[in-house]
Each structure stands twice: as C-alpha cells, then as structure tokens.
Structure 1
Amino acid sequence: MTQVHSTAIVDPKAELDGSVAVGPYTVIGPHVKIGANTTVGAHCVIEGRTTIGQDNRIFQFSSLGAVPQDKKYAGEPTELVIGDRNTIREFCTFNLGVPGAGGVTRVGHDNWIMAYTHIAHDCLVGDHTTLANNTTLAGHVELGDWVTIGGLVGIHQFVKIGAHAMVGFATAVSQDVPPFMLVDGNPMAVRGFNLVGLRRRGFSPERLAAVKQMHRLLYRQAKTLDEARAGISELTAEMPDAAAEAALMSDFLSSVTRGIAR
C-alpha cells in the first residue's frame, strides 16, 4: 500500500506507485504521476501535469508543477517531467512549461538539487548535475550532463551551459558556457577548464589534454570563434581518443545563440 500520511491530501485521480511515501500536509493534484520508491516530504505541493520517476527524494516545502511565471500562460495543458534518483531539497520550485516552446520543463536523472533552487518554465536539466543552494534558472535554460552550479547563481533566460562545466559562487550567467569550462565572477569570465571535476569522473590524460587544447583554442590564442571551431574540428584526427569531447564541443558551439562566455 502507498504510505500516505493521514493529513496529506492526494487527489483520487493521481497515479502513485504502491511504494510511494507521502509526508504530512502534502497536497498532490489529479494529473500527477509518481513512480516507485519515491518519497515526498511534509508540506509539499505537487500539481499540474507533473510526472515524477522512481527513487526520488523530495524534501519538505517543495512546490513542483505550479503554473509558470509567464504572463502569456493561459492555463494550457503543459508539463513538468522529472526523471529517476533525483534529490530535491527544501523549498525548491519547479514550474510547468509554456506553449510554443515545447511546453515541457524537464529534469533528468541522478541530479543533486539543493534548497531554494528555482527551475522555471521550459528548462532542460540533464543528468548528474549539482545545483547548490539558491540556484535560479530563468525560462528556457539548458544544463548539460554533469554541470555543477555554485550557490546564489542566477542564469539568464535561454542560456545554455554545456556538459561538465562549472559555475562558481554568486555568478550572474548571461551568456552560454561551453562544455568543460570553469566560469565565475561578475562580470562572468572563463577562469580555466573544470580539471578537478573531469579527473573525478575518470577522464584519461589524453581526454584531459584535448579539453586543455580546446580551452587554448577558444581563450588563449586570440582566435575568432569560427577559427577556434575549425581548430576543434581538427582535434578528432589529432587526438582520436578524445573524439567524443571534440564532437561535444563542436555541437555546442554550433548551437550558441547568446554568444559564449569570455
């Protein structure tokens, strides 16, 4: 049987796996679906068309699936989709999407999301990210896999942060951050590449050397962005062990819309 506290209010139309636990005074709406072994703490509100996967831990006072903070939203049937094995700490707010932009706010798997994090409408959060306290994502932000965001960081709407990048404490992020890079400060600047994080993930010396070379091409050789992109494309032949990293960077740079962090 689903473990629902007697003071919780769960709409009869909600779909909860039998192993879900729901804490005191939590409210769950009619269009919510929650997968196996997920726990929901006290005083949470989960509403809207929200789908939550398996083995998530949702701490007290979180608000998931509320309508987006967008004046154009008029009650359309948009969604919030959360994957598996995420930790969502206290006072987090994740909003539904808005029409015209896919209509889905999506959070992947195995993310560590700390207290007071806000994920606005139509954001796309990958897997294995770490979002420290008071991380704020405006609408349409995209975070790649293994991104690390420091506390008190604000991210401008439509910004993309590439896989394995790290953003330092209290940074205002208004431009796209390429994969692997380390940025911080106000104004934001690239300080290097995320060497410690990549080592922790088991990157080989050859892969680290390729990332270092991409950092040089982008930031240390006074090249234009097009020239740097051409050099990065050539790395596949020069460093075959790092072809995946070069392809990841090339794909990211081809999708930049706000300019990259310098």
Structure 2
Amino acid sequence: MRFDPLKKINNNTLVAFSVGVIFTILFNLIVNKEPFKVDSDSISALANVGTFLVAMVAALQVKKWLDGKVNEAAFKQTQLILEAISKIHMYSRLILEDCKALTQPDVVDALSYYLLDIKNNEARAINELNEKITQHNKIFKETSIQLQVLIYELPMWNISIKNKRVKKDILDIVAATKLFLEKCDEIEDQTNKKNVHNVITHARTISDELHEILFSHLTKILTKNYHDIFSPVTSPSKKVD
C-alpha cells in the first residue's frame, strides 16, 4: 500500500507544528540572545514558518478538491454498471417477447411461407420481427461489452465489488448474457439461411430456457441496494471553488 503523507496531516497537526516552531524560536531568543531583540534571523525563521504553513494548507485544499473529483467520478462509474445491468434486463425482455412471437403457431406457418419466398403480409411481418430481434440484439451485445469493461476498470477508481459472492453474481450475468447473445445470432443466421426448423428451435431455447437462467442471475443483483453491491464510495462532493 502506498504511503500518502497528506493523509496524516490535518488542521490540528498544522496548529501543533506552528506552536512548536514558534515556541522553539522564542526559546532560542530568550536563552541565546537578548529576550526582546528581534533580528533578521528571527524574522527570516518566522517568515519561513509562515510560508511553510501556507503551502501545507494549499496542499490540503488541493487534495480535498482532487478527492472530491475522484469520488464523484467513482460514483458515476458505479452508476454506469447498475444502468448496464438494468439495460440488459430490459433488452432481454424485449428479445424474449420477440422469440415468443416467433414460436406462435400462426407465425410458424407464416415463417414457413416466408422462407419459401412466398411474398405476402405474413412474410413481411416475419421480416420485421427478425429486424427487431437483430436491432435489440445489437444493443444487448453493446451493453454486455460495456458492463464487462466497466467492471474491469473498477480498480482505476479505487472501487471494488462488495465481496466474492456479489462478484460471482455479476460474472454469472455476463456468462448468461453471452449464451443468450449466441442464440440471438443463430436466429438471425438461420433466418437468412431460410432454415425454419432451426429458427423456431433457437427461439424456443431462449424463451423456455436461457431467459429464465439470465433472469435468475439478474434478480440477485437487481434486488440488492447500492451498498450491498459496492464497497462504500463517498457520495459526490460539492464542487470546491
């Protein structure tokens, strides 16, 4: 652990130091010189003490300002992580609804027609549904990558996940999201290849299995409060002028 000398210095330290220095100067004047005679050496010593105190007070103010800025940035970092998890929850729900629609009997029939290149209203509806899944999947994937990057960068802001249990819960979300995304990619790929059976199979896997797994991991984080997820982080401080 790096030693920071400024952490050991506060206003009481400065006052004690000042009193000690001034007492030493006065003691030397009384013992070694004429008690009430002030010469250039004494004035210089007092000036040096004053300069030192001003410098230390300025350093403490700068440190306080920097700590406030770091705390503010750290708090925003944790906010982004929680927002990413919430966003994964929302888009997994949207994709779930799309997959459920794909497995409806009337949609399956329309999908079969669509994959046989029969141009009708049902085919256009299937095409729009596939485009929705692709769009939702893109945002879902970007959010998952963002979450992984944000977690990796936590040490930069002197933040850590509360404990190993919570860290595992978040990593489980990342892993479940990866499986979810792979199935979404396969739906798009099999739709382009006009393989109706595989499209329906992958859609059912998401709606019947993968979403439930992902949601169970999400729930473990979504039901916690902030301080159950992260080590204590000072709330954003007021700007120091």
Q: TM-score category by the smaller chain?
A: under 0.3
More helix by percentage: 2
Flag the structure with larger Rg.
Answer: 2
More strand by percentage: 1
